[in-house]
């Protein structure tokens, strides 16, 4: 007989960057494991140093890092952490990206533009990632940018069940804030049993985050409207859409989004909006001033969803089965 046989068991190790430690701790608690101690700091010139305090040799490693502000710093830290795991002889490296940075740059709108979402996927693959696990990508085709398995999780069950338990479903209308979200809004309709409406908008191609709302397609008068989107950045799009719904006679407007990016003037816009409630998940950390001062803000934990997916991946199970009812 030649060779050596081993009977060792698989080992799951859970790592986290510094971008969103609260979510990492929640996921670790759901899994019943601890976050691997990691020494990470910035040098005086801004370079990032990372070293794990435990051996990762032969382990199935899961590394969570959400791409929050400052987004470029945390993406770079994640790449460095992936490289460190690869050089530590990890058996596999699953990169958990609750919010995938640069996802809106998924195609060329005009000449001489980059496809930055593809670049991020290439960087993670080159660094050593063997699998990507993410939540509600801006567009589904980003899954094809990564040359390896991608587990695409959905916050729809979490958000829809919360909203469905709060409102009278007989009066509920699901509203897509633009044509690109119609397919997602339609899935909300299937789950909650309400009709669909669409807010037609047009962006200024030369001015970022500048939106003009034109008209509402569908019946919203006297209805409780639930605006559904994947992310809210500066809040301009969603607040303008809410104003359009109220102008067309909506009784109430609730806004839901998986990712609360909440950049720049978002805090003031949300505070001054007529929207009765904003519902996000915690894929990104919520700004302190909003969580403290905005009573109509609700943040739901995505940790159980991520933890369930991690278990399925580690046990060679089916992540799709978690969302079969959709």
* b/e burial code for range 94-118 (CB count within 10 A of at least 16 → b): bbbbbbbbbbebbeeeeeeeebebb
Which residue stretches of 165-264 are H helix?
182-192, 236-247
Cα→Cα distances 162→2, 229, 260, 279, 298, Å: 59, 15, 17, 9, 10
Tokens coding 241: 């859409």
Strand order in the sheet with 12-16: 12-16, 60-64, 92-97, 131-135, 150-153
Rounded-to-integer distance, Cα 17 and Cα 64, Å: 7
Length of the chain in terms of residues written: 326
Give residue for tokens 């199935």: 60
Measured from the Cβ of residue 301, the count of other Cβ atoms closer than 10 Å reads: 16
181: CB partners within 8 A, 6+ apart: 228, 229, 230
Instruction: Report helix angle 116-127 to 71-87, nearest 10.
Output: 30
Tokens coding 102: 């640069």
DSSP assignment of 242-296 = HHHHHHTT-SEEEEEEEEE---TTHHHHHHHS--SEEEEETTSPPPHHHHHH-TT
Give residue for tokens 């989107």: 229
Q: Do the strands 48-52 and 60-64 form a parallel or antiparallel pair, or are they unpaired? A: unpaired
Catalytic residue among 11, 171, 201, 205: 201
Bond preceding residue 92 cis, omega within 30 of 0: no
Active-site annotation holds for 108: no
Active-site residue set: 201
């Amino acid at each position: 007989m030649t060779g050596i046989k081993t009977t060792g068991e698989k080992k799951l190790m859970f790592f986290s960057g510094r971008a969103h430690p609260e979510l990492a701790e929640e996921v670790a608690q759901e899994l019943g494991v601890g976050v691997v101690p990691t020494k990470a700091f910035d040098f005086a010139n801004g370079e990032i140093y990372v070293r794990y305090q435990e051996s990762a040799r032969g382990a199935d490693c899961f590394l969570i890092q959400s791409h929050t502000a400052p987004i470029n710093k945390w993406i770079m830290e994640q790449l460095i952490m992936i490289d460190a795991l690869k050089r530590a002889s990890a058996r596999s490296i699953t990169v958990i990206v609750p919010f995938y940075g640069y996802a809106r740059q998924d195609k060329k709108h005009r000449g001489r533009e980059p496809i930055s979402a593809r670049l991020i996927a290439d960087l993670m693959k080159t660094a050593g990632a063997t699998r990507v696990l993410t939540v509600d990508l801006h567009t589904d085709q980003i899954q094809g940018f990564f040359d390896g398995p991608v587990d695409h999780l959905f916050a729809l069950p979490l958000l829809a069940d919360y909203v469905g338990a709060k409102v009278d479903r007989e009066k509920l209308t699901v509203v897509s804030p633009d044509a690109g979200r119609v397919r997602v809004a339609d899935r909300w309709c299937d789950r909650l049993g309400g009709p669909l409406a669409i807010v037609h908008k047009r962006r200024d191609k030369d001015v970022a985050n500048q939106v003009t709302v034109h008209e509402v397609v569908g019946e919203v008068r006297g209805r409780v409207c639930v605006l559904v989107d994947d992310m809210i950045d500066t809040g301009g799009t969603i607040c303008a859409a809410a104003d359009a719904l109220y102008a067309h006679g909506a009784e109430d407007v609730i806004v839901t989004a998986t990712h609360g990016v909440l950049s720049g003037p978002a805090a003031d816009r949300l505070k001054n909006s007529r929207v009765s409630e904003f519902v996000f998940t915690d894929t990104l950390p919520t700004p302190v001033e909003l969580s403290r001062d905005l009573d109509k803000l609700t943040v739901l934990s995505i940790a159980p969803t991520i933890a369930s997916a991690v278990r399925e991946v580690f046990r060679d199970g089916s992540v799709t089965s978690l969302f079969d009812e959709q």
